Structure formats: structure tokens, C-alpha cells
Amino acid sequence: MGRLLHEYRDYLYLLAKRRLVGRLRARVDASDLVQQTLLEAQRDLRGFRGSSEDELVAWLGKILQNNVYQTIQRHVIAKKRSANKERSLDETGPDRQALANYLAADWSSPSQRAMRGEAAIRLAQAIGQLPPDQQEAVRLRHLEGHTLREIAGEMKRSELAVAGLIKRGLQRLREIFHEDSSAPD
């Protein structure tokens, strides 16, 4: 069962990275949320009522969704250890945008997930094979839609360096998918 759940680690990691926004991303590692999700899934596997891989992916996504919500509650909404306490004096008002973004998130219906699930898992696994800097640059550009300037600022690199990371990452992804498509089943 551990090996089966491990197949979804990269997919869950990308989902977690998308849900952690702003200062919360600096305080909470997406890997921790994924680990917690996989531990809970293994613990609660007897409660899983599905019969297909798509239903398993949806179930794992719901566990992750709950873990992200609880993390937002602990770090943004709760007064103790609140990420809001880490604001500069220039900023005003409580930042509840992380929770608002999360609650308004576009979680797909089960039928939509069924159609995209396998491709998303394959993509996440392929991205997981890239070097860490390329993973981050590709994720921020193509999954989150950030500009080169934004990515360069976040990664503390020049725009040219970020463009190179993205280009090499995409080339490697093409190679991975080409290898997968030419491999015999």
C-alpha cells in the first residue's frame, strides 16, 4: 500500500504548493502536508469506499484539502503563531487572502478529475524527476502562471537564468514523455 500511495506523492506535492500562498509558503513546507496526507490515507484506508484509481486520487485530494485548510487555520486565522504577526509596519489589515483563495479554489468535480487525473499524475511524476531549481521554475511559470520577473524575484536569480531553467526543464519533460510514449507496455 505504501508503494501505491507513493506514486501520488509528486501529484499531491504540486497540489499542496498551489494551495500554500503568501507568507504561509515560507512557514509551511508542502512536503510536510503531503507526508501528513499519505500517513492519514494509510491509516484511514479501511474507510475508503471507492473502487477505482480516480476515486483514490479524489480521496487523497480531499485529505490534502483538509490538511491545507487546517494549516491555514493554525497559521493565518488563529492568533497564536499567526502568519499575520509577521507583517511589516507598512502593511495594514489582516491578511485573510490565503483562506479566501483556498475556499474559492477551483476543485474539480469527480468526472473532471477522472478525465485529467492520469495525465496530471504523470506530469507531476515527470516534474518530480527534474532538478529542484527547474521544478520550481517550471511549476511557477506553467502551473501557477507567474511572469519571468516574478519568478526571478522569488528565486533570487536573473530573468535570463530563470528562462534557462524553464527551457531546460521543458526540454527534459519532453524527453521524459517521449521515453514514456516509446516504451513498450
- Would you place residue 72 in the very low, low, confident or very high pLDDT band (cuts 50, 70, 90)? confident
- Distance, CA of 152 to CA of 65 (rounded, Å): 29
For residue 1, the number of C-alpha atoms closer than 13 Å in the C-beta half-sphere is: 11
**Phi, psi (deg, nearest 5) at residue 114:** -60, -40
> Quick check: 55 pLDDT over 50?
yes
- Would you place residue 100 in the very low, low, confident or very high pLDDT band (cuts 50, 70, 90)? very low
* Residue 153: predicted pLDDT: 92
- Distance, CA of 139 to CA of 130 (rounded, Å): 11
Supply 10's cell numbers: 509528486
* Residue 10: predicted pLDDT: 87
* Topology (CATH) of 129-185: Arc Repressor Mutant, subunit A (1.10.10)
Q: Where are the alpha helices (DSSP H) in 131-158?
A: 132-138, 148-155
Question: Where in the chain are all domains bearing CATH 1.10.10.10?
Answer: 129-185
Q: What is the mean pLDDT of the chain?
A: 76
* Residue 73: predicted pLDDT: 74
> Quick check: 165 pLDDT over 90?
yes
- Would you place residue 91 in the very low, low, confident or very high pLDDT band (cuts 50, 70, 90)? very low
